[in-house]
């Protein structure tokens, strides 16, 4: 991608003016400023990412005491770890002495976290175990200097964190999608593959692309030939009605087709977006694979394929597309103003064996190809938006309706003005 413009005359007043102008023009794409401003990016980290529920991993990745893995976004790093008692904790990866990171490996197992700078040593629950020679400081109490904790919530085997100490409990909103999600038995599922895709573009280009399917029919031919979501609802309503009529009986899962949507400004709490709905595959297709045929054993308590897929949003940055035989999770995180990491996680039944019950290439091919196609159109989108001639155009009222909801929430969060 060509080098994006550098904004030299930025400031709070200018940012506020752009926010006000964008909020007074709903139904249109965001101005280029929001993808180019370092000031906007720093405010996004504080106003959105540090206050939202973010996917941090799956319980299968932390089965034993001492198991840990890092989650990073912006300039922050967090450690998700299981302690000796089996409890999960989320800790800021910042030594309480001079700020060095106490954990360097992305994942692993250890008994303590030791700062490489001055050897302050922390237990798995974040408490300070030893601070070398600090007895020389009168009144020093180790209990006052544990690693900072952030909120953690485990739901159906998925682990989420939130850095806002005042964030309401996430378990309440999550309970609304338990009937739709429980049938996959994600706590007992296993990760077949986890892959990170890096994009040289602002995080909003990546997330906005995921939130609309206006591009699906033209940019994703393999996806479009399988999924009715690529078309307007009025054109596939008959197929959707037939799916919803048979789904629970065929799969044996009560509540599977129940729709729930509380996202963005309509979420129960800030950053606690929750949605679930089931949409159809075109006739003759059973799952999300290149040929529409099964690629793994049925998940959880599914009894058969119903020709549908479960679409989930959990928080503002995590999404799942769940087929009866496998699930695909997406997470979007910024690593810089013009750098984004999109993590894809493929789940299969916990007792499925690679090579015997599923082949990794067949399992992952559709969404790997779709992601590479997305990488192309996202880069083209970013290059065009960075042109001095770019002028935001109108959104499609149906295909881009969720994107409009995101924009309204995003602008309100930056302005810190509740809608």
What confidence score (pLDDT) does residue 418 get? 43
What confidence score (pLDDT) does residue 6 get? 84
Query: What DSSP line would sit under 100-133, residue for residue?
Result: --S--SSEEE-S-EE-TTT--EE-TTS-EEE-TT
What confidence score (pLDDT) does residue 2 get? 65
CB of 292 closer than 8 Å to CB of 226:
yes
**Domain segments of the chain as ranges:** 62-150, 176-391
How many angstroms separate the CA atoms of 237 and 203, rounded?
A: 33
What confidence score (pLDDT) does residue 416 get? 82
Query: What DSSP line would sit under 167-222, residue for residue?
Result: PPPSHHHHHTTHHHHHTT-GGG-EEEEEEEEEESS-HHHHHHHHT--TTHHHH-HH
Instruction: For residue 344, list its beta bridge partners.
Output: 195, 330
What confidence score (pLDDT) does residue 145 get? 98
Assigned token pair, 404: 């409009």
pTM score: 0.96
What confidence score (pLDDT) does residue 3 get? 78
Domain 62-150 -> CATH class: mainly beta
In terms of Cβ atoms closer than 10 Å to its own Cβ (0-12, 13-18, 19+), residue 8 is: exposed
Among the four given CATH numbers 3.20.20.140, 3.30.750.24, 3.55.50.30, 3.90.380.10, the one describing domain 176-391: 3.90.380.10
User: HSE of 191 in the Cβ direction (CA atoms, 13 Å)?
Assistant: 16
In order along its 419 residues, the chain shows pLDDT tens digits of 567 888 888 999 999 999 999 999 999 999 999 999 999 999 999 999 999 999 999 999 999 999 999 999 999 999 999 999 999 999 999 999 999 999 999 999 999 999 999 999 999 999 999 999 999 999 999 999 999 999 999 999 999 999 999 999 999 999 999 999 999 999 999 999 999 999 999 999 999 999 999 999 999 999 999 999 999 999 999 999 999 999 999 999 999 999 999 999 999 999 999 999 999 999 999 999 999 999 999 999 999 999 999 999 999 999 999 999 999 999 999 999 999 999 999 999 999 999 999 999 999 999 999 999 999 999 999 999 999 999 999 999 999 999 999 999 999 999 985 44
């Amino acid at each position: 991608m060509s080098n994006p413009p550098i904004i030299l005359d930025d400031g709070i007043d200018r940012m506020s003016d752009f926010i006000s102008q964008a909020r007074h023009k709903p139904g249109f794409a965001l101005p280029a400023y929001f993808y180019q401003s370092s000031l906007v990016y720093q405010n996004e980290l504080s106003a959105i990412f540090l206050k939202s529920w973010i996917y941090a991993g799956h319980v299968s990745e932390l089965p034993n005491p001492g198991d840990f893995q890092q989650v990073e976004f912006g300039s922050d790093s967090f450690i998700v770890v299981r302690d000796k008692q089996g409890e999960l904790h989320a800790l800021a990866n910042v030594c309480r002495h001079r700020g060095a990171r106490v954990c360097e490996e992305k994942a692993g197992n250890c008994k303590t976290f030791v700062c490489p700078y001055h050897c302050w040593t922390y237990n798995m629950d974040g408490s300070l175990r030893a601070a070398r020679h600090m007895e020389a400081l009168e009144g020093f109490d180790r209990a006052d200097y544990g690693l900072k904790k952030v909120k953690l919530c485990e739901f159906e085997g998925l682990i989420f964190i939130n850095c806002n100490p005042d964030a309401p409990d996430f378990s309440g909103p999550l309970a609304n999608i338990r009937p739709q999600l429980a049938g996959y038995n994600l706590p007992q599922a296993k990760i077949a593959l986890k892959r990170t895709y890096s994009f040289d573009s602002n995080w909003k280009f990546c997330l906005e692309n995921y939130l609309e399917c206006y591009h699906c029919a033209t940019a994703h031919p393999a996806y479009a030939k399988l999924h009715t979501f690529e078309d307007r609802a009025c054109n596939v309503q008959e197929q959707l009605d037939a799916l919803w009529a048979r789904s629970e009986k065929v799969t044996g899962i009560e509540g599977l087709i129940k729709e729930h949507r509380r996202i963005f400004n309509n979420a129960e709490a800030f950053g606690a977006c929750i949605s679930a709905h089931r949409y159809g595959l075109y006739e003759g297709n059973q799952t999300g694979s290149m040929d529409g045929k099964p690629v793994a054993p049925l998940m959880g308590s599914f009894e058969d394929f119903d020709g549908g897929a479960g679409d989930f949003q959990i928080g503002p940055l995590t999404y799942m597309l769940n087929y009866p035989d496998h699930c695909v999770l997406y997470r979007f995180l910024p690593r810089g103003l013009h750098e984004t990491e999109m993590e894809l996680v493929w789940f299969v039944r916990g007792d499925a064996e690679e090579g015997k019950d599923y082949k990794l290439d067949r399992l992952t091919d559709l969404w790997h190809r779709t992601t590479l196609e997305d990488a192309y159109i996202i880069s083209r989108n970013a290059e065009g938006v960075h042109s001095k001639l770019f002028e935001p155009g109108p959104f499609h009222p149906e295909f881009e309706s969720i994107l409009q909801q995101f924009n309204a929430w995003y602008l309100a969060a930056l302005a810190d003005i509740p809608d």
